[in-house]
Structure 1
């Protein structure tokens, strides 16, 4: 594996720890090697030493860590210096023939020059796979430009566009629940589902990414990729098989069926917000405009809520509510399927008690599946009380659970494309998102303020209340 951006934040926080976990579990071939590249002129010894504090997990035994570090070699390779790629290619091509994974954990503007140099030095042969991190462009035009340039050197079956949410165990379980059981699939349609909510909330602000985030915003950063991919997994038709193209063919059908939000409807179907100073976990935090690298007059959104609809027979008329934001009360990612009321209620309904069933699939921080239902309250009357059937995925099986990045990295190594995003999916997602971006840009209405530590602007709750619905945490 050639890890471009080996000294960067993503490599240290996610990629190298995930590769260590795979190594520790015995899932990496004994001859597998990791070539970490960076623009800093370091030796391998210095690089490995720097990983001791920032990468080494607390549970890593000395022997296992040492064997993992023996797999690593640091190569000084600045993406802007073509000569550096000659030495890199010599190292890679001198090894026995086999799969080569090139992971581009760099800024997107370096994707094309890196691919050009890989091709020039012969590192685009059929056994080479290239992983592209998001964001892949900032709009449809730039996305297509990057994809077209990369396609000059690599075939579509060599390109792995990663979205780490697709590697989460609970997202895989969503497919198992729907397509592996006779219980849910007959109810997974407009006749029985009232609405679907998909939330990705973060406690963190922009941290040290102010310069990047201020030119991106929540819609590009989270909705165009993560949230729309989760929507596809919830809404898609049963694929003919588990083959990579069968799954991705069904996802693209959903993206094409998403009803465009016309400019005159954007204000009524979307909410954009920007956090102000507040408190997270009892500690004061600054507002977005006070963060490092943020322009004092920035209109960039840190919160988005959208009411989306899918124009097909299964989902016609069912609202899909998408929500993401920074500086929220807690870090949580979840999918909520809200089922309709029973057609003829015969039990007395206690004041304030929802009698609707809900399926809540929690993606983070813990992974779980919870089905809310009603049972008889103990006593001499037929009164109802809520309860839930819980599946804690962390304790339901003794089998080792791989993290999202580890699973996806292993899939790249094994040549499995099913959990990666195809080019036409990205195109369709951008086509749906761009009219919203354009309308916001041309609007004189600023993002709605919300206090850090809350669930976003009040308009987010109003978006649902107009349909008689509530966000999950408000039920």
Structure 2
């Protein structure tokens, strides 16, 4: 296990809200010992004492209800180096040492190529690992070039292209529900499943993230990585094991089977939109184009829909729909598996059968099965829902990911060819949207999005 973590971009939002609380959770669970060391590097003119003060404040704000000594242990393990992370000499000073180190690039993705190049020139101790957040590149050619640079730095198994969705309890439960229950797996194909909706709708608006979001947009921020990863877990063939090779091979198979959209398909099967001014609860939300830091001429989308089909024996004839949107009326974060209707109802005129839908809730984490049963009057049909609430996870998603990084288990990270295949799937959409072939619709903040929506 690696006992030294370096965070480049250590004073940013990612560190404060996710990485530091994850380290507290790992310490509380007994996964980090007294020998663990954290080095933060950023441009701020701080010393170690100032950084530890900041770490302590962020842990108190975001770190959860853990014992005070646990939180203090993480803060006490922290040190700081002022550095330009694009400067090889500065980077070399940060990573210097004989022991292997895990280097986490908590940075804007646009900086990844130059920082990886700086790491290569600086040199890493043998056995070190590199962690990158999504999105991995800005397009297919970017991803290929970044993969080439990483291959010159460390072996592929030492590269962790992390997506915290893969460590969420309910996402893991998609595999558990499929592969550990005889009642489901025989039905898990196009003969029985008509549609799969993979949805991440949120009431959150831009929330001060214009510097990142206005250069990326909904399609790259959510669909290209998070939602395609969920597609892989839903549609993959059963792997022999859940080891990194078997699991990631099957995910790549899914992406390779996605039928590429033609230009006409993009016009018919995709939508994009951005929010106007509106109200969500007690909050007045300005129009996206008026948010601070937004360049309205970029015409960046805050809502994206993509409809895909898979050319495979199991899934030919099933529609997979991926959708995400910001500043919507309600949060809807789920994978909804919609089964086909039964071929015959022997109930006369007692009503219609309600569609069977298996819903994997992502936030909150629960499992719901919508069925049809007999109503209060025995001659009528009525909807019936069975709901199971997931047990709280032992570790938060980022805690699980960091533990895998430190232990050297890449099963839940994204392999290089997988990252490239994900970009291949969406390249026709990106190309058509950049040409403005698909209109940029608008919807009021606090609404259900552009209508009609599925």
Please tell me the TM-score bracket, short chain as reference: over 0.9
CA distance in 1, matches of 2:159, 2:298: 35
What is the CA distance between 1:240 and its match in structure 2? Answer: 1.4
Q: Which aligned pairs between 1:240-251 and structure 2 lie closer than 5 A?
A: 240-251=240-251
Q: Which aligned pairs between 1:304-383 and structure 2 lie closer than 5 A?
A: 304-348=304-348, 354-364=353-363, 366-379=364-377, 381-383=378-380
Distance 1:243 1:58, change over 3 A: closer
CA distance in 2, matches of 1:101, 1:133: 14
- Note the aligned Cα RMSD (angstroms): 1.8
Contact 1:124 1:154 in 2 (8 A): no
- 1:78 match: 84
- 1:89 match: 95
Distance 1:53 1:440, change over 3 A: same
What is the CA distance between 1:385 and its match in structure 2? Answer: 2.1
Moved more, 414-423 or 141-150: 141-150
Normalised to the residue count of structure 1, the TM-score between the two structures is 0.90
Q: Which aligned pairs between 1:407-422 and structure 2 lie closer than 5 A?
A: 407-422=400-415
CA distance in 2, matches of 1:172, 1:3: 27
Distance 1:349 1:432, change over 3 A: farther
Normalised to the residue count of structure 2, the TM-score between the two structures is 0.94
* Structure 2 counterpart SS, 1:176: helix
- 2:174 match: 174
Q: Which aligned pairs between 1:37-76 and structure 2 lie closer than 5 A?
A: 37-56=41-60, 57-76=63-82
What is the CA distance between 1:124 and its match in structure 2? Answer: 4.8
Contact 1:79 1:110 in 2 (8 A): no
CA distance in 2, matches of 1:52, 1:39: 19
The answer to whether residue 116 in structure 2 is matched with residue 115 in structure 1 is yes
Distance 1:287 1:60, change over 3 A: same
- 1:289 match: 289
Contact 1:359 1:370 in 2 (8 A): yes
**Candidates 442, 451, 454, aligned match of 2:447:** 454
What is the CA distance between 1:451 and its match in structure 2? Answer: 1.1
CA distance in 2, matches of 1:10, 1:117: 21
Give structure 2 stretches of 5+ with no counterpart. none
Q: How many residues align?
A: 448
Q: Render the CA deviation track for 1:388-422: whole Å, top value 9, x for unaligned.
A: 22110036xxxx53111111111111111111111
Q: Render the CA deviation track for 1:226-267: whole Å, top value 9, x for unaligned.
A: 111100100010011111111111111111111111002211
CA distance in 2, matches of 1:120, 1:261: 40
What is the CA distance between 1:120 and its match in structure 2? Answer: 3.6
Distance 1:170 1:445, change over 3 A: closer
The answer to whether residue 106 in structure 2 is matched with residue 105 in structure 1 is yes
CA distance in 2, matches of 1:18, 1:249: 28
